[in-house]
A and B are shown apart, each in its own frame.
Chain A
Amino acid sequence: MAQYLLSVVTPAEGAQPPTPDQLEAIMARVGQLQSDMKAAGAWVFSGGLEAPSTATVLRPDGDDVLLVDGPFAEGKEYLGGFTVVEAADLDAALDWGRRTVAAIGLPIEVRPFAW
């Protein structure tokens, strides 16, 4: 078995944020998917993230560490949330990825863990 990171690729601008009703429906679908993952023994960890504007970056600075306000890179997309799944191979991981796309309606990046 291997572990895969399923990242939610969230648009930073331009896209309409979901209405409260839509959000509720999304969360219901995500909850259902998560219990399916747990029932299949595939779920390892998952979470949704606050906006990139809430991030702080720590950088090595000689022997010191420097604090910088904001995300490490401003992009058109940001990591909005993620799930770590346990899967036999890429096809199995892609199946969970496909179902995550269906639940959230956003692009999902599937990436294997190296260790």
Chain B
Amino acid sequence: MSDLEAVFRDVHGRAVAVLTRQLGDLDLAEEAVAEAFAVAAATWPERGTPPSPAGWIVTTARNRAVDRLRREAVGTAKLAEVARLQTIAGPEPEQEEVGAVRDDQLRLLFTCCHPALAPEARVALTLRMVGGLTTPEIARAFLVPEATMAARITRAKHKIAKARIPYRVPGDADLPARWSSVLAVVHLVGTEAHSPATGSAPTRPDLAADAIRLARLLVGLRPDEPEARGLLALLLLTTSRAPARALPLDRQDRALWDRGLADEGQELVRECLRIGRPGTYQVQAAIAAVHADAPTWADTDWSQVVALYDLLPQTPVVQLNRAVAVAELDGPSVGLALVDRVDLDRSPVLHAVRADLLRRLDRFAEARAAYDAALARTANEAEQADLRRRRDALD
């Protein structure tokens, strides 16, 4: 990754957050940040990366925004705005209080996740503003045409501006009602980090770091609320396995797992257990913690895993994962019977799981067909390569 790319991943969300507060306009903030990065791409390679890249980006973006407002200023109201912005002797993010930047990031997150926006727009907007993903990347992640995603994001930004969706973290009274949709979006950012729908890499570390950072902010905002803690634990535990993720969990080299992240995740799971108010993120984190405890796939405490899956709402994905655990506990034929009852035909994972169970039952022709079905359902190149290897190993 180049210097600039690294700075982009690290700084984009923070810069948009700070500038949205200063400019009072999300769209203008985003465009100004994009322009600042374009200037950086043109000048840094020659002049070198400035000592404070984040500060440089925010300052350059603010100057660009002021220039643009001045060009467009026709009425006195806008000129007054230009004058106001010019007097913001903006401290650079590094020098600004950590608390202030943190608050801006939470504001940006809550604005992007406002319940007056459609759920699919909330995730897209968060990935765009906080994660710095491009519209084509987001479109690929959600398997929709680029034009559709562009329209969705434009419409959401337009509504934020025109309907005056506030740039603010809700007060204590409204916070609980807004909580689950924000957690859901951060969870989806993490999900996209660990199974990008397309591309050659099995993970996107930059997005995983964003999701973890946001979850930490949420835990800080409501320390007594265990689901945020559960979500953070889940993200940490999932990310701890990222270095080994070229392979599915059952064949991963567990020595590659990031012990530091896993330990923090497990400690959080223990804290959740002490609080004693379980929720779906906490239970999923607890399942991940059981895996983190096991030195090998075979040593996993499968009865514990099955018991935890029983606590979750029985969505098709949960049924599938539970069936995998049951197959380890009670044998492949019991597992296969459960898998065949799961309504998730579009998922490559379902077909890959079926294929593995069929192989263990020596039903090789059916296994081959199931691997092919899985291959037909994923565009992720790393997944495809692994599936092909497993299919060809049947010979």
Contacts and interface: CB of A to CB of B under 8 A. Distances in A.
Given A91-B170, A91-B174, A112 B164 contact: yes
Contacts of B164: 2, 88-90, 112
Interface in B149-195: 162-166, 168, 170, 174
B116 A94 contact: yes
The secondary-structure label for the interface of chain B is loop
A42 B26 CA distance: 27
Interface of B: 114, 116, 162-166, 168, 170, 174
Interface in A88-115: 88-91, 94, 110-112, 114
Contacts of B168: 91
13 contacts: A2-B164, A88-B166, A89-B165, A90-B164, A90-B165, A91-B166, A91-B170, A91-B174, A111-B163, A112-B162, A112-B163, A112-B164, A114-B162
A89 B162 contact: no
A89 B116 contact: no
Q: How large is the interface on A (under 10, 10 to 19, 20 to 34, 35 or more residues)?
A: 10 to 19
B24 to A, nearest CB: 12
Interface string A26-64: 000000000000000000000000000000000000000
Nearest to A92: B166
Contacts of B166: 88-91
B169 to A, nearest CB: 11
A54 to B, nearest CB: 31
A99 B218 CA distance: 29
A61 B325 CA distance: 72
Contacts of A91: 165-166, 168, 170, 174
Contacts of A94: 116
Nearest to A94: B116
A114 B162 CA distance: 8
A108 to B, nearest CB: 13
Interface string A1-22: 0100000000000000000000
B163 to A, nearest CB: 5
A61 to B, nearest CB: 33
Nearest to B115: A94
Interchain residue pairs A-B with the least CB separation, the first 5:
A89-B166, A89-B164, A112-B163, A90-B163, A90-B165
Nearest to B170: A91
Contacts of A2: 164
A88 B165 CA distance: 10
A2 to B, nearest CB: 5
